[in-house]
Amino acid sequence: MLVDEQRSPDLSVEPARGPVAVLGLGYVGLPVVLASVESGLEVIGFDIDTGRVAALEIGHSPVDSLSDKSLDKALATGRVSFTSDPRSLAAARTYVICVPTPLRDKLPDLSMVTEAVDLVARVLSPDDLVSLESTTYPGTTEDLVAQRIEAVSSLVPGRDYSLVFSPERIDPGNQEYRLENTPKIVGGVTDQCTAAGAAFYRRLTNHVVPVSSPREAEMAKLLENTFRNVNIALVNELVVFCRELGIDLYEVIRAAATKPFGFMPFYPGPGVGGHCIPIDPAYISWRVRQLGSSFRFVELATEINDRMPNYVALRVAEMLNSVRKSLNGSSVLLIGVSYKPDVSDVRESSAFPLARQLMRSGAVVSWHDPLVPEFVVDGTPVPAVKTLAAETLDNVDLAVVHTDHSCLDLEALIRHVPLVLDTRGTLRGRAFNIQGL
């Protein structure tokens, strides 16, 4: 159940005093750093990547949605320092763990969480606050984090220090919703832990949502992105059938979205990617398997989304066949290779399996993405097309719009490429040489 802030006197507790240490300075951790500095707190930003730390120290932001200007503003306060030295963490009284939790062979990999927790455990003091923001399966905070801290420090959460889970809700590239105006869920191992965590996060965000325990908070994050994964799978499967039936699925979705209740529009695409949607459902499935069951609904959705790159490759072959060309030997240009528009993040991008399938079929693959510095598939750098111009597009047989960045000159494709497969619906109805999924 949600904890009622108005009826719970414990939620007026003051947060731990002293500097805040943020472990992990990527898409999740860096916004926490800047918000903490903005609120007047002193902050220690920690990351094992010495190159990233060096860049941050000179005001260069590695995160698309956070500008160098915002980082310079934080540095100018004198309240933030960046380091790769674990000894610096000892000065903190609040610890926020924001390290990645990727999948390895489709299984959760919490090695970076474990390493971060061990660093915190070695310097943790009574009355400190520890918050885990990294996405994980239900039970991690109470089982893995609490037990490792107790094993190292003998400190028990709720008695000696406060321990909470507060899932990150960062949406890279979203200019409307940021850390400060996105409600923050907080679940502690005791009511007093929840109170301490809520007091800290109220300094960073406009709305804190306390819940009964870390397990509810952990599951809430997984539900949010599993909901998206399942609904994307629904339209991804529908787009295949609708094409066979001669139905414009985009028109169908627009029509359905006019209903003012009970419907939310989702759109088909070349697959799913990023640090959440392909990852979070796997954490639920893994945890359910530990109970001796299977989460068939989620696993089916993942299977559907995972096969979309192969479907896109099939569509490429069909379009080339329609003009009496073979995929083997044809020049195929991927437009955009990051996982979503207007970000440079390529983690779990469907561009990788798509390029892999096209190359295995003999296509000569190249790519264009002004936001991404390199595109390497299975250890092999894929040749880049730096600009979309007549001279660079003359030899392209087919272009695939994989990621529709707002900065792309897609008009050049219409003018200079004989066939365009638009996987995002951006160019629908613009010219005879454009087809959709």
List the catalytic residues. Answer: 276
| Tokens 């529009």, residue located | 265
Strands 420-422, 434-436: pairing is parallel
Q: How far is CA 320 from the centre of its chain?
A: 34
3-state secondary structure the chain: CECCCCCCHHHHCCCCCCCEEEECCCCCHHHHHHHHHHCCCCEEEECCCHHHHHHHHCCCCCCCCCCHHHHHHHHHCCCEEEECCHHHHHHCCEEEECCCCCEECCEECCHHHHHHHHHHHHHCCCCCEEEECCCCCCCHHHHHHHHHHHHHHCCCECCCEEEEECCCCCCCCCCCCCHHHCCEEEEECCHHHHHHHHHHHCCCCCCEEEECCHHHHHHHHHHHHHHHHHHHHHHHHHHHHHHHHCCCHHHHHHHHCCCCCCCCCCCCCCCCCCCCCCCHHHHHHHHHHHCCCCCHHHHHHHHHHHCHHHHHHHHHHHHHHCCCCCCCCCEEEEECCCCCCCCCCCCCCCHHHHHHHHHHCCCEEEEECCCCCCCEECCEECCECCCCCHHHHCCCCEEEECCCCCCCCHHHHHHHCCCEEECCCCCCCCCCCEEEC
Strands 103-104, 94-97: pairing is unpaired
State the maximum Cα–Cα separation within the chain, in Å, rounded to a whole number.
74
- Judging by beta carbons within 10 Å of its beta carbon (0-12, 13-18, 19+), is residue 190 exposed, middle or buried? middle
